Amino acid sequence: MKIFFIILTFWSTTVVGQTSFQSIYDSLGLKGSTTIFDYKNQKWIYTHEKDAEIATLPASTFKILNSLIILENKVVNDENEIFKWDGKPKSHFGYEFKVWEKDTDLKTAYKNSTVWFYVNAAKKIKRKKYKRTLKKIDYGNNDLSEKGDDFWNYGQLAVSPKNQIEFLIQLYESKLPFAQRNINKVKQIMVSESTKHYTFRDKTGWTRANGKDIGWWVGYLTTKENVYFFATRLTKNVETENPDFSSGRKTVTKQILKTIKAY
């Protein structure tokens, strides 16, 4: 993995000033940053280069890596194996999620970001196994000291936007230490939008820490000509109401991708 990071130092960097895209954020009353990697031209594009290096909880974006770990460790036979819902109401930070209240398989749990499915799966994997895997692929700070099973939403595990993209590049190139069949399955369940011109593979995430809402959208856009990796992270005070916070993760990212003529 050290070789991977040495290579990174030779990639070109474009620092796009925050003001260049500030109108997009301002129109929705949002604060945060978007980091993009132009794969064909090996070029980083930042709306806020310093923020791209700051690590926070990954929230449900961790489900990309967690799905690989779950499949690799045979917690489920495949993406279609069902986990039974326990019949109890399901919520996240006080918000009810009726869509979680049903028997669920991995591909559906990924799409609906079903916390209980991934928590139940995580209980079947030793924390040492997680730590070894995260260290091997250089994902985040590898701090899994959180005693609860939902360590990607609570605790001290932290990953930066740039590191999210570095992980996604390894996934795209199939260079992660997982069986190719499992990599292919995860790449498939990641697809959220596909046309004859482009495909989005991605994951959103939302958690709260230190009085802040943290909202993510990470993934990559493939076109006939190129691949664009992206990581957008928004933050706001928990007490601050903003109806555009959830949808804004995708809105600002797509507008920036269109501005740079990615698709």
Write down the number of H helices and E strands in the chain. Answer: 9, 9
Domains of the chain: 2-259 (3.40.710.10)
Annotated active-site residue in 20, 23, 33, 60? 60
**pLDDT of residue 237 exceeding 60:** yes
Distance, CA of 217 to CA of 233 (rounded, Å): 7
What is the band of 9 on the pLDDT scale with cuts at 50, 70, 90? very low
E strands, the chain, in order: 12-15, 32-38, 43-46, 91-92, 95-96, 191-194, 198-209, 212-223, 227-237
Distance, CA of 1 to CA of 79 (rounded, Å): 28
Our answer to whether residue 91 is catalytic in this structure is no
Q: 127-148: buried (b, 16+ CB within 10 Å) or exposed (e) per residue? A: eeebeebbeebebbebebebee
CB 165 within 8 A of CB 218: yes
What percentage of the chain carries pLDDT values higher than 70? 93
Distance, CA of 237 to CA of 231 (rounded, Å): 20
**Residue 17: CB partners within 8 Å, gap ≥ 6?**
47
pTM of structure = 0.93
Radius of gyration of the chain (CA): 18
Half-sphere exposure for 127 (CA within 13 Å, toward CB): 12
Q: Is the CA virtual torsion 242, 245, 247, 252 positive or negative?
A: positive
Distance, CA of 109 to CA of 75 (rounded, Å): 14
pLDDT of 29-73, one tens digit each? 999 999 999 999 999 999 999 999 999 999 999 999 999 999 999
pLDDT of 169-190, one tens digit each? 999 999 999 999 999 999 999 9
